[in-house]
Amino acid sequence: MGASSHNHPNGLFISLEALATLCVKTLGYDGLSSDEERQYGQYQAYTQSLKQILTPAQLSKWQADEHSPLNDPAGDDFRHYLDAYYDNEQTPILERYKYYNGVEGNSRNPQLRSTTKPDSEDINEDNTLSTDERYYEYRIPLDDEQGQNYKINTRTTERTLPNGTTSAVTWTQYRIPYQSLSECCRRYQWFQIYAFYAPHHEGLRRNYKP
């Protein structure tokens, strides 16, 4: 949802002068600022539904948090890990990277930014927006023996959920051999360097009780 082109992919074919201006106005992939997201129809419906299930304490907390879904419905705001906010809050190092992958505002501050130019669909920056589909696909069932064999590390922490309760959350690291691919689209003659990947999950279930 948001603003998108109906004619061609979002490239970055502009002058350096225009690029400098865009860096100040850098937006997320939806083409909207956080202020515009809060006024956008589908985002408004989403935030209103959240307000119906949050406890008063959690609602108050989210209203004060600029990165919460109420203030940043798309969840795309950037914050550098050296931001003074983290110093004031004495935030642990592992939590400082929570918003580093955000794309809205990630090139705005010359001292605290993750890129020198706004994001575009030209991911590898070769000035070619190819629609050619070439990829390897790996299908890993995580609930059987094969998936368990790829598991190399787990970490469990206590987290506070949106409804105010706490629960144990487990992060699992998998290592998947290149040769264990399920299929590929327009087969390559050999394995090349993997520059990008896109995870896709199926069959997940989540039971949530506000």
The DSSP code sequence of the chain is -----SSS-------HHHHHHHHHT---TTS--HHHHHHSHHHHHHHHHHHHHS-HHHHHHHHH-TTSTTT-TT--B---TT-HHHHHHT--GGGGGTTTT--BTTTS-SSS-S-SS---S-TT-SS-------EEE----TTSHHHHHTEEEEEEEEEE-TTS-EEEEEEEEE---GGG--EEES--SS------------S-------
Q: What percent of the chain has pLDDT over 90?
A: 23
- What would the pLDDT profile of 64-109 be if each residue is shown by its tens digit? 999 999 999 999 999 999 999 999 999 988 889 999 989 888 887 8
Please state, in angstroms and as integers, the Cα–Cα distance from residue 195 to each residue in 33, 111, 198, following that order. 29, 27, 11
- What would the pLDDT profile of 26-60 be if each residue is shown by its tens digit? 777 787 888 889 998 889 999 999 999 999 999 99
Is the confidence at residue 17, as pLDDT, over 70?
Answer: no
Please tell me the predicted confidence (pLDDT) of residue 25. Answer: 60
Q: Tell me the average pLDDT of the chain.
A: 77
Report the range of poorest mean pLDDT among 45-49, 60-64, 173-177, 200-204. Answer: 200-204
Is the confidence at residue 194, as pLDDT, over 80?
Answer: no
Q: What percent of the chain has pLDDT over 70?
A: 67
Cα 91–Cα 93–Cα 98 angle in degrees, nearest 5: 80
Please tell me the predicted confidence (pLDDT) of residue 205. Answer: 65
Question: What's the predicted TM-score (pTM) here?
Answer: 0.59
Distance CA 103, CA 121 (A): 12
Please tell me the predicted confidence (pLDDT) of residue 210. Answer: 40
Q: What is the mean pLDDT of residues 204-209?
A: 55
Please tell me the predicted confidence (pLDDT) of residue 208. Answer: 43
- What would the pLDDT profile of 153-171 be if each residue is shown by its tens digit? 889 988 887 778 888 988 8
Q: What is the mean pLDDT of residues 131-156?
A: 77
